[in-house]
Structure 1
């Protein structure tokens, strides 16, 4: 929140709109009457196996690596809070449990971010994916237009840690290793349903070993 580019401003606008809706139609003080608790959630830059979206760093990297082509990186020094998709999903589901159990006590704004508070550059991500894949290279590409976007984005999840007992499971490198493993399995023609079930089970096992509340 608090950014000056349109994308960042849209996040703040969403919070204002949601709070106005909450206070107008589902005021917390009258929860006993309407039974609705409204929360908002924000995640970092979510990444994971199976994402083939266009103009996104990790999908573009993996498609290039599978095709044996160089990876085009538009803004190598941009820093983003990269996180595996299972991280925010675990937080969202655990928050939903709390909303059902305790209602408006948890009807607020929540962040679910990555383990690394410093943020990781797009160049670091591309180079790590190349190393994990085993070959490849990246090149700096000119986007061809002056797109205004924030160079540094971070996300604090201290509130989720303190009140939900939530924390990330994977480091950024472990998240990328999971992604590369997924795409290698995809390229081999493996049963991807079974692969994804195995990845979810591995994530849950790590979370259980860390003693996270949502696994109890």
Structure 2
């Protein structure tokens, strides 16, 4: 069972987009802990509080508040940074905001991805690119079958469609330009991610923490929706191992799913009931699934490719994921240093064995 190699990342020049976001801040923290030299491109943090600020990510990275829709600015930063590895996480990452701003979502997720990949052209230092998309890139027929990397792409809503389109952009740049340049390019499709340090709007666990800390009832729109929940360190470990492998073997370029074991996919209601039990307080109002725009009711991923080729296997089951997530928020609220909390989770994850 493969864990990221600290020795590999020591001294590596890494370009990380989206480093002010939830997953991006965790990624920046982990990379810098291993001794990587990280250049970040992102918009300013979109919530208060936020992990980027609490973990002092600006102080440990070469941080640029730049919109990935600005092709010239992105190109200039990448040329100056001369990265060996590019990790593209920046995105408009939510379904409901995608309905509210479809053009902004397409501009960020499609053209933003094209801008990053186009900026890599001619930068000879780059050996590997991992571009992160989502589990929602698949044409979801909700049959109960877990989706594999070679299944049809689709997207009912603007967010899902934008991410499916970005997969075509990634494949096009890989095949048309970057493979010839010697750059190995892969896309990473991850399931629903939870963990300490997320305060974004319209996300399940952050919404729960906000409501329960304010003595408000948490409203759940679709309690029966099934998703492949995983702790944030699970996909990040997968992205990093994938980047290591691509750096050494360009034949691995392609798409990879990262998620929990299929049987660990769970309903929103199950996640909230477990989170409520661990947190120790808070009420919930259960909706009937009719409120709001369309969202998929059932989604799960087949992860055998990542297991067989990368030796990346999930480490924490759903209960431990939720316990660690809610415990993070409780300890942070009680005054425990954010660096200690993130470092402790990374250390525990690195020690974990397959369940």
RMSD between aligned alpha carbons? 2.0
Is the CA contact 2:228–2:301 (under 8 Å) kept in the aligned structure 1? yes
Cα 1:144/1:124, change in 2 over 3 Å: closer
**Alpha-carbon distance between aligned partners in 2 of 1:170 and 1:115, rounded to the nearest angstrom:** 10
2:169 to 5, 17, 30: 17
In structure 2, the CA distance between the partners of 1:133 and 1:116, relative to structure 1 (3 Å rule), is farther
Q: Provide TM-score, normalisation by structure 2.
A: 0.54
Structure 1 residue runs of 5 or longer lacking an equivalent are 211-216
Matches within 5 A, 1:43-192: 43-103=190-250, 105-117=251-263, 119-141=265-287, 146-192=292-338
SS in 2 for 1:117: helix
Unmatched runs of 5 consecutive residues or more in structure 2: 1-137, 141-154
Distance (whole Å) between structure 2 residues aligned to residue 116 and residue 200 of structure 1: 24
Moved >6 Å (runs of 4+): none
1:203 matched residue in structure 2: 349
Cα distance in 2 between the residues matched to 1:180 and 1:64: 13
User: C-alpha separation between the residues in 1 aligned to 2:213 and 2:260?
Assistant: 27
C-alpha displacement at 1:65, in angstroms?
Answer: 1.9
TM-fit CA distance, 1:148: 1.5
- How many corresponding residue pairs? 203
Shift of 1:67: 2.0
Tell whether the 8 Å contact from 2:264 to 2:317 is kept in structure 1 after alignment: no
Q: What is the CA distance between 1:191 and its match in structure 2? A: 1.3
Looking at structure 2, the residues matched to 143 and 117 of structure 1 have their Cα atoms a distance apart, in angstroms, of 23
Displacement of 1:142 in angstroms is 7.5
The answer as to whether partners of 2:226 and 2:265 remain within 8 angstroms in 1 is yes
Contact 1:49 1:180 in 2 (8 A): yes
